[in-house]
Amino acid sequence: MPRSHYTGLARPSYDHPAQAGVLLVNLGTPDAPTARSVRPYLAEFLGDPRVIEYPRWLWWLILHGVILRIRPARSAHAYARIWTPEGSPLRVESEKLAAALQTALGTAVRGSVRVALAMRYGAPSVRTQIEQMQREGVRRLLVLPLYPQYSGTSTGSVIDAVADTFKQLRWPPELRIVNDYHADAGHIDALARSIERWWSAHGRGDKLLLSFHGIPQRYVDAGDPYLHHCQGTAQRLRERLGLNATQLEVSFQSRVGREAWLQPYTDATVRRLAGEGIRRLDVACPGFAVDCLETLEEIAMQNHDMFVAAGGESLRYIPALNDSEEQIASLGALIRRHAHDWPEFLSDEAT
């Protein structure tokens, strides 16, 4: 018999009680803070055509001829600065978030709902988790990329991974995908309450800076809505906190290469603000669902040192929502809204 191109089940899943599944997807992380572990992770991440839109042959030469010879050691050093006894903060915090959502949904909905976590790059992969959920009887799947603002470089890539997996399944489940939640009222309120709680505990700085991950300007020029979504989140959060344009600014971090990325750049902004006499700068990163390398090392360490060197007193990073009550409540409500008519999510009153 010829070998099939499609993945099936040893026992058809209609023999099992059907359930709904929620797949959270985050960016990913190397398994260890070493160059040997970082190299394959970066190769997968930077090899994604959604992330780097260059001609494939040219980018392959740059990636394998230059970047993967130099950057793994540098990135490993950065990861080592934030690595915990439990492992990568992004993985640890994402797993806590998934577990908390599993508990919350278990008490909030009537039917059986399975919550799982996948990484777009690294392990556990999107394919592995979807196939495992299918084996467990998941027949309705809601995919929630943990990127509040849509970009083709992030959510678009998750959609690609899901589509590639579904193309290989003999009997794919019903599928829904949360495209973005940058303007979701519950999410904005969760961000505001988190910042307010932090201010209540630590006092309020002279200015609040919202630092979003950057993307190349040409992606936005080509139609990526990411900048619009970041501006939308910032405006809604500014209104919710009762701040004006001088009290809250927006910047973009994590640029690489020589081409223009979204501006203003975060590193240049923190230096400018220090030069303008800002003594205590509060920084939040509302594009990151959980804390990771870009928040804990790039902002809380690198940009803190830049700010102090430029004359500031202290740059104070306000943690991501992580597995806070605010995030669990807002994402739980978001999930229920997107899957409200699935049998597992119907309330007793609706039946």
CATH number of the 185-317 domain: 3.40.50.1400
Burial of 242 (0-12, 13-18, 19+ CB in 10 A): exposed
* pLDDT for position 261: 98
Q: Which of 288, 191, 184 is nearest to 232 (CA)?
A: 184
* Residue found under tokens 């099992």: 16
Tokens standing for residue 109: 């909905």
Domain formed by 13-29+88-180+326-350, architecture:
3-Layer(aba) Sandwich (3.40)
Domain edges within the chain: 13-29+88-180+326-350, 185-317
Question: How many Å apart are CA 304 and CA 298, to the nearest integer?
Answer: 9
Question: How many Å apart are CA 348 and CA 124, to the nearest integer?
Answer: 35
pLDDT digits (tens, 9 = 90+) for 24-76: 999 999 999 999 999 999 999 999 999 999 999 999 999 999 999 999 999 99
Question: How many Å apart are CA 88 and CA 86, to the nearest integer?
Answer: 7
Asked whether this chain's domains 13-29+88-180+326-350 and 185-317 adopt the same fold, the reply is yes
Mean pLDDT, the chain, whole residue set: 94
* pLDDT for position 347: 63
Q: What pairs with residue 21 in β-bridges?
A: 114, 141
pLDDT digits (tens, 9 = 90+) for 207-222: 999 999 999 999 999 9
Q: For residue 228, say whether it is annotated as part of any ligand binding site.
A: no
* pLDDT for position 8: 72
Where the chain has pLDDT below 70, the residues are: 1-4, 9-17, 347-351
Q: For residue 229, say whether it is annotated as part of any ligand binding site.
A: no
* pLDDT for position 3: 62
* pLDDT for position 350: 45
Question: How many Å apart are CA 139 and CA 241, to the nearest integer?
Answer: 41
Do 334 and 303 meet the contact criterion of CB atoms below 8 Å apart? no
Tokens standing for residue 213: 């991950």
| Amino acid at position 244, single letter | N
Q: Per 3-state DSSP, what percentage of the chain is helix, strand, and coil (rounded to 5)?
A: 50, 15, 35
Pinpoint the alpha helices (H) of the chain.
35-46, 56-62, 68-82, 89-108, 126-135, 155-166, 185-202, 217-221, 226-241, 266-275, 293, 304-309, 325-338
* pLDDT for position 15: 58
Tokens standing for residue 83: 């690595």
* pLDDT for position 68: 96
Q: How many CB atoms lie within 10 A of CB 301?
A: 16
